[in-house]
Copies of this chain bind each other. A is one copy, B any other.
């Protein structure tokens, strides 16, 4: 992948030493995340809502026309909540933020306490996917983001697809921030009496449980049982 420079809007102004803009790193974090927090500006103030998402190579018809988008990727966000964001029309300016918390950073002084984390901030224009076939394809990408369960389920009906809004946002204005490792304290505190260190945060999928109302004898799909015991935020 070509390196994508951050746009002026997504240049990380603080903690720039923690900022990375490499496309593969950005997509790796997006792949390891579970939900996105999507922000829009509304007439009565900003609103931020959690949403399922997925990432795929840009489909020409969902491109916002930015030449950079042509050979790049896009994030797809899903959820009827998006309806509220689109009262103005078929496109809306959004910020899509995905954050993974990896641990607590305990410094010698609270001023330097922090978290270890991986985050991606994507700013851009979200475009609703209108074509039913394209929407179906986009829904599959979102559906299979955490586990590929699409193929073992009853396919969506045409009306299911019609009822589900999907937005595409090009990954052309994306920045990533990663904070890892020990606390960084001030020289004046290094000979002090205070402890410093990390507390890692582990996020793992548990054993699947079958719905109480399942009437058939269907086995747990492989894609679902494969999650058990897995680090939910494993880098890849």
Q: Enumerate chain A interface residues (CB-CB to B < 8 A).
A: 9, 13-14, 34-35, 37-41, 44-50, 52, 80-81, 84, 93-97, 99, 101, 103-104, 106-111, 113, 115, 117, 119, 121, 123, 139-140, 143, 146-147, 149-150, 152-157, 160, 163-164, 182-183, 189-216, 218-221, 224, 227-228, 232
- The answer to whether A218 touches B205, judged by C-beta atoms less than 8 angstroms apart, is no
Partner pick for A110 among B143, B199, B228, CB 8 A cutoff = B143
CB distance from A149 to the nearest CB of B (A): 5
- The answer to whether B206 touches A202, judged by C-beta atoms less than 8 angstroms apart, is yes
Question: Cα distance A195–B147 when bound, in Å?
Answer: 14
- The answer to whether A48 touches B195, judged by C-beta atoms less than 8 angstroms apart, is no
- The answer to whether B232 touches A201, judged by C-beta atoms less than 8 angstroms apart, is yes
CB distance from A167 to the nearest CB of B (A): 14
- The answer to whether B216 touches A197, judged by C-beta atoms less than 8 angstroms apart, is no
Question: Cα distance A101–B207 when bound, in Å?
Answer: 16
- The answer to whether B182 touches A212, judged by C-beta atoms less than 8 angstroms apart, is yes
Partner pick for A192 among B14, B39, B216, CB 8 A cutoff = B216
Hey, which chain B residues are within 8 Å of A209, CB to CB?
197-200
Ranked nearest first, the 9 interchain pairs of A and B with the lowest CB-CB distance are A41-B41, A39-B39, A39-B48, A37-B37, A200-B206, A195-B218, A111-B160, A196-B211, A48-B97
